[in-house]
Structure 1
Amino acid sequence: MNKAVFLDRDGVINEVLSDRVKFVNKPADLYLLEGVGDAVRLLNEHGYDVFVVTNQGGIALGYMKEQQLHEVHKKMLREIETHGGTIKEIAYCSHAPKAGCACRKPEPKMITDLANKYDINLEVSYMIGDRDVDITAGKRAGVKTILVGEEDVPEADYHFPHLLDAAKWIAEQSI
């Protein structure tokens, strides 16, 4: 079985609600947070498959088309790859926030579907997010959870200021 790190996108990988961008609805809106490419590379180097699991309700709400989301993700992957990092797959929920679907975080379906597809051992894997829905999804999936950023989510197993700090800690644990 493989080990993995599941990453939320907005607020973990890229800026959102910042001075430069409110929401990421087109490639020009995507700005990687500092250290993200290096963090993904470090996780890959320590044997972790890295996945993105992201709620993208803006599609159902009409703020963007699904093709625009794919273009945003292509740009994100290219930028991470310039640092030597690889995202194995991106899973997203395009349903509206109140749709009640099984794939929208805090539900764990995106994580568990990827785990089944790629033979991931959830007990040695992590979910990294910046909000309570990310942490809840990780808990429900059976992975260790890491909160990044300034929000306070006491249920998180670990808390770090940025993704790179979390990746360095995970790398130390895998030695």
Structure 2
Amino acid sequence: MKAFFLDRDGVINESHHVNRAKDLVLLPGVPEAIRMLGELGYETFVVTNQGGVGLGYMTKRDLERIHRYMKQLIEEGGGKLREIRACIHKPRHGCGCRKPKPGMLLDLIMRYDIDRTQSFMVGDRDVDIEAGQAASVRAVFIGEKAPAGIEPDFVYPSLYEAVKELHNQGILQA
């Protein structure tokens, strides 16, 4: 199986502090990009740090509502998410699942027998790129340019542009 691992905030939705489902707004082209990935044979996973639960800004139930709503919006646009994983620990908890550690990715790779050589981590922060590299998948940075000291494999302004261009370049094939 080949896969795309997507960070949530800044890749899928526009706000970096979504504590309620009604605050979640998808970025342009996200459902279409995820639909295209499915058509190309990629499974799409969300791997997100959500320390707001551990810090008390929202409950696990709030986070589940947000993710159900996100999944619904993506499905309405023709996309499909295989699974959503969230690290809910406080930022300095020291767990193995919070990015930049690769725990969430490695667990999914093992569980679904994912081919790392055909898989990608997409994120808008250095911790996303570091997690992808630590899990031995290709890293795609979303933004104008990657932060100093971070060397992703690819840089694109949006998830939609990343999927479109990687496909046009023959890097993503069915």
Counterparts of 1:170 and 1:50, CA distance in 2: 15
Q: How does 1:63-142 map to 2 (within 5 A)?
A: 63-142=57-136
Q: Which amino acid aligns with 1:13?
A: I
Q: Secondary structure at the match of 1:4?
A: strand
Partner residue of 1:10?
9
Counterparts of 1:82 and 1:171, CA distance in 2: 23
- 1:58 matched to 2:52? The reply is yes
Q: 1:174 to 1:150 in 2, by over 3 A?
A: closer
Q: Does the Cα contact within 8 Å between 2:145 and 2:155 map onto a contact in 1?
A: no
Q: Secondary structure at the match of 2:58?
A: coil
Q: TM-score, normalised to structure 2's length?
A: 0.94
Counterparts of 2:96 and 2:21, CA distance in 1: 28
Partner residue of 1:32?
26
Unaligned residue ranges in structure 2 (runs of 5+): none
What percent of counterpart residues are identical?
50
Q: Does the Cα contact within 8 Å between 1:43 and 1:171 map onto a contact in 2?
A: no
Partner residue of 1:174?
172
Counterparts of 1:11 and 1:170, CA distance in 2: 19
Q: Per-residue deviation at 1:171?
A: 2.6
CA RMSD of aligned residues (A): 1.0
Partner residue of 1:155?
151
Q: Per-residue deviation at 1:170?
A: 3.0
Q: Secondary structure at the match of 2:46?
A: strand
Partner residue of 1:20?
none
Q: Per-residue deviation at 1:168?
A: 1.1
Counterparts of 2:167 and 2:3, CA distance in 1: 12
Counterparts of 1:171 and 1:41, CA distance in 2: 13
Q: Per-residue deviation at 1:99?
A: 0.5
Q: Per-residue deviation at 1:151?
A: 5.2
Deviation by residue 1:55-81 (Cα, 9 ceiling, x = unmatched)? 000000000000000000000000000
